[in-house]
């Protein structure tokens, strides 16, 4: 089994992005699955081109995109991506869409194929806070989650894909009082557990439990 794991580069006023920092530190193999790591730009559309090229090259069984969600307390596997770009800030190319439909021929929303409840449970069992999230926002994180689901719908029906948000690093909240953060090693441990759950639940579907939600 091969899993493509992507992480965004820094954006906005931050000089570091925990997403790519954590992805780079993942093991090369988790529960027997090969882990392919990829840095992607925090840019609408361009990020999708980079991921599509990687899917074509690597032919992964799964794609897991990782992004920063400043203000969240734990790792949050995402349930759904919506067909909308609405940027609170410009991306790294200076583009800031408002109420923009990502694909006119795409579904209004796509649900993940990943076992998000099993992932959240595994992350917490590894000693890291986690809950299922029902919103990936409307910035580049939701954009890439939606784009990969669109690719699955139109081009790569054999893959399963999803997204997980991670918090700020401690150094990112020095000037952000009362904002949650998490040590990088804890993020890596949590992501490793989440990917392990993906491998372990392959072909079995998700677990039927309450794993908490973030609206």
Catalytic annotation, residues: 78, 141, 165
Which has the closest alpha carbon to 71: 212, 185, 167? Answer: 167
Interatomic CA distance for residues 14 and 76, integer angstroms: 21
The backbone torsions φ and ψ at residue 104, rounded to the nearest 5 degrees and listed phi first, read: -60, -30
Q: Rounded CA gap, 143 and 43, in Å?
A: 9
Judge whether 123 and 76 are in contact, CB under 8 Å. Answer: no
Look-up of token digits 């973030």: 214
10: which DSSP letter? P
Torsions phi, psi for 6 (to 5 deg): -110, 155
- Residues 182, 163: contact at Cβ < 8 Å? no
Give phi and psi for 56, each to the nearest 5: -65, -40
SS3 call for 49: helix
């Amino acid at each position: 089994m091969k899993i493509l794991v992507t992480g965004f580069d820094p954006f906005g006023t931050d000089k570091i992005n925990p997403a790519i920092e954590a992805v780079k530190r993942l093991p090369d193999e988790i529960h027997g699955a090969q882990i392919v790591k990829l840095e992607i730009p925090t840019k609408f559309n361009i990020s999708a081109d980079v991921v599509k090229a990687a899917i074509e090259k690597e032919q992964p069984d799964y794609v897991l995109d990782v992004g920063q969600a400043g203000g969240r307390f734990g790792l949050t596997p995402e349930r759904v991506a919506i067909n909308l770009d609405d940027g609170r800030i410009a991306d790294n190319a200076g583009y800031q869409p408002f109420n923009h439909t990502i694909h006119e021929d795409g579904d209004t929303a796509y649900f993940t194929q990943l076992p998000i409840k099993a992932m959240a449970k595994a992350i917490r069992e590894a000693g890291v806070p986690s809950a299922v999230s029902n919103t990936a926002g409307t910035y580049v994180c939701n954009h890439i989650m939606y784009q990969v689901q669109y690719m699955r719908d139109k081009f790569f029906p054999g893959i399963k894909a999803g997204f997980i948000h991670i918090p700020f690093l401690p150094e990112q909240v020095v000037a952000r009082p009362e904002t949650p953060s998490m040590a990088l090693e804890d993020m890596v441990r949590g992501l490793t557990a989440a990917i392990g759950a993906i491998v372990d639940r392959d072909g079995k579907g998700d677990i039927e439990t309450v794993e908490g939600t973030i609206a």
